[in-house]
Amino acid sequence: MDNRTEQLRKVKEEVLELKDSPLYQERVKNGVFPVIGEGSHYAKIMFIGEAPGRNEAQTGRPFCGAAGKILDELLASAGIDRQEVYVTNIVKDRPPFNRDPLPEEIKVYAHFLDRQVDIIQPEVIATLGRFSMDYVMRKFGLGPVITSISGMHGKIFSAEASYGPVKIVPLYHPAVAVYNNGMKEALITDFKILKNFK
């Protein structure tokens, strides 16, 4: 097995066994799955969302519900094939009632995300929504430049990862566009930036 695939498989196994997580009991009670991530293990672009929703927890696949449909449209609008990117979330288990992830939940799962970043070594990290924007910007020492997502979306920030340079592009979460066409237009404009990194 390819080394990256093997390392990612280990991440998956550890998340499956994460009995200390506050969301583990929810997962077991509801008979659902953690969502680890999906896509190319050699992706240049890595998308990081928030946490799985109902559809994602039922299938174990990221962004496969309403927000996923929008993400697919946005990728298509930028001419990016979903199979060539990697899509994941900070929190790997579904928070009950789709509520926002709590700081302690982010803390429990974030180091799995850190490992995924180090394994896949993306050139670009596109954050989806403010939770992943906050986490990723802070992770790379860019905490002091964080403002609101409306002030940061579509901008490109340079940082240094363990494996070399990385660009961070904060984006709105696709779910904001489900009932809001203005937001969809903003997302379509921002996704065009990613075309240059394919």
If one asks whether residue 49 binds ligand URA (CB under 6 A), the answer comes out as yes
Size (the chain), residues: 198
If one asks whether residue 194 binds ligand URA (CB under 6 A), the answer comes out as no
- In this chain, which stretch among 4-12, 47-55, 111-119, 189-197 interacts with ligand URA, using CB under 6 A? 47-55
Burial of 2 (0-12, 13-18, 19+ CB in 10 A): exposed
If one asks whether residue 63 binds ligand URA (CB under 6 A), the answer comes out as yes
Phi then psi for 92, rounded to 5 degrees? -95, -15
Return the SS3 of 37.
Answer: coil
If one asks whether residue 56 binds ligand URA (CB under 6 A), the answer comes out as yes
For 21, which DSSP code?
A: S
Beta bridge partners of 89: 49
Closest distance of CB 17 from ligand URA, Å: 21
Closest distance of CB 132 from ligand URA, Å: 8
If one asks whether residue 157 binds ligand URA (CB under 6 A), the answer comes out as no
Total residues binding ligand URA (CB under 6 A):
12
- In this chain, which stretch among 21-29, 50-58, 154-162, 187-195 interacts with ligand URA, using CB under 6 A? 50-58
- Looking at 34, 37, 39, 53, which residue binds ligand URA (CB under 6 A)? 53
At residue 85, what is the residue type?
V
Instruction: List Cα–Cα distances, 161 to 44, 46, 111, 157, 195, in angstroms.
Output: 14, 13, 14, 12, 21
- Interacting residues toward ligand URA by CB under 6 A: 35, 49-53, 56, 62-63, 67, 89, 175
